[in-house]
Amino acid sequence: MVALKIENVSTWHQYWSFDPRRYLYAGSETYEAKAKRIAQVMNASEEFQFWCDQDQIQTVTVGLKTMMQLKKQSQILMLSSIKNVLSPALTIDKLEIMLCSWYFENYSLGFCLGMLCHELGVHALATLSMTQKHTGVRTKSPAMVSEETSENQLIPEPELGPGRNVQIRPSAAPQRDHAYAATPGRERYHFYQNLVVSIAYTLSQTKFADRKAEITNLFDCYLMDVASILATGDKRGKGMAPEWSGLGVGPAAIADVYNARREDLEEYLRKGNELPELVQLLPARKTATGVTTNYLGLMWALGGAFGWNYSTTWGKWWKED
């Protein structure tokens, strides 16, 4: 059994009594307690454990990194990333997820779980699930081959109704995995959805006082992720620019995709054993105003992420490690 661990969380530095963020998403929960709750939910997920066992993963760690550290490693702005996505060997020693410490501090449990679901369900575990293990090597499954051969094709978003044409070309997306994880009917899409639902169900079985609200936050994080990927071609900044400007698609397009994928998720939950109870915890249908609010919150998060982060071991700001 794999035990996901969150590393370099400050064990003594909590939200100060005068810190205004105590009244925002994250509340007044200490960093260490929050990290333990995240790990508890992930480790109790049958879906997470099944795929870690199938892929012979020995260790999964989540390291909190400042935005400066993440940018040095990836050369782009991001809130999380993952290393060791695919190994040619049969045994993978370690999956390392890097999560922006500012995001960890300012977004609640459900959103942090959603970020980990993205890294595992869009990238690492999804990719590994589409490889077949043979003696000493991994080979690509038909689903993986299909992704590679269709990456230059335009994939339309279904079920958006008249007057709305949204499509994505995987090869033109900054990350090809994103395009397939946001497209219904693709194996990566279903893997991502399954993992999110498994984590939501696991969270519902805990005794956390805020479990219902955090399940809603987890679903909202997931739906905004796939909607913003597909509506913008994974160029998320286009979600804020008005469609009439020619510079973007506008928040209304993201809201349309969000609501279409919400219906898909609702149908999935109603069909699953013990899952219909989660339907009432789905977030409300998204409006263009709601999308704009989400974007503004994320922009605020990105701006603050370059400043001092309290949750990591003291002194982690400009340093690489």
Q: Which of 82, 174, 65 is nearest to 119 (CA)?
A: 82
Give me the pLDDT at residue 272, please.
77
Distance CA(220)–CA(223), nearest Å, equals: 5
Distance CA(31)–CA(124), nearest Å, equals: 26
Distance CA(275)–CA(266), nearest Å, equals: 10
The confidence band for 164, taking pLDDT boundaries of 50, 70 and 90, is low
pLDDT in tens, 107-119: 889 999 999 999 9
Residue with the two structure tokens 């990350």: 175
Q: Which of 186, 182, 89, 105 is nearest to 144 (CA)?
A: 186
Phi, psi of 92 (to 5 degrees): -100, 120
Return the higher-pLDDT residue of 76 and 121.
Answer: 121
Distance CA(308)–CA(63), nearest Å, equals: 17
Give me the pLDDT at residue 190, please.
93
Handedness of CA 292, 293, 298, 299 (dihedral sign): positive
Helices (H), 233-319: 251-271, 288-304
Beta bridge partners of 100: 65
Distances in whole angstroms, Cα of residue 100 to Cα of each of 72, 105, 157, 190: 13, 9, 30, 26
Handedness of CA 128, 130, 134, 139 (dihedral sign): negative
DSSP state of 119: I
Distance CA(288)–CA(239), nearest Å, equals: 10
Distances in whole angstroms, Cα of residue 158 to Cα of each of 77, 167, 178, 205: 30, 9, 17, 34
Average pLDDT over residues 188-198: 95
Distance CA(321)–CA(68), nearest Å, equals: 11
Distance CA(244)–CA(79), nearest Å, equals: 29
pLDDT in tens, 126-147: 888 887 665 556 677 788 778 7
Give me the pLDDT at residue 314, please.
44
Helices (H), 166-287: 176-181, 187-204, 211-232, 251-271
To the nearest whole percent, how much of the chain has pLDDT over 90?
29
CA angle 111-116-119, nearest 5°? 130
Strands 95-100, 60-65: pairing is parallel
DSSP state of 239: G
Give me the pLDDT at residue 102, please.
77
Tell whether the model's pLDDT for residue 162 goes beyond 60. no
Instruction: Count CB neighbours of 217 within 10 A.
Output: 23
To the nearest whole percent, how much of the chain has pLDDT over 70?
72
SS3 content of the chain, % helix, strand, coil (to 5): 55, 10, 35
Return the higher-pLDDT residue of 285 and 295.
Answer: 285
Return the higher-pLDDT residue of 169 and 290.
Answer: 290
Distance CA(162)–CA(146), nearest Å, equals: 29
Give me the pLDDT at residue 184, please.
87
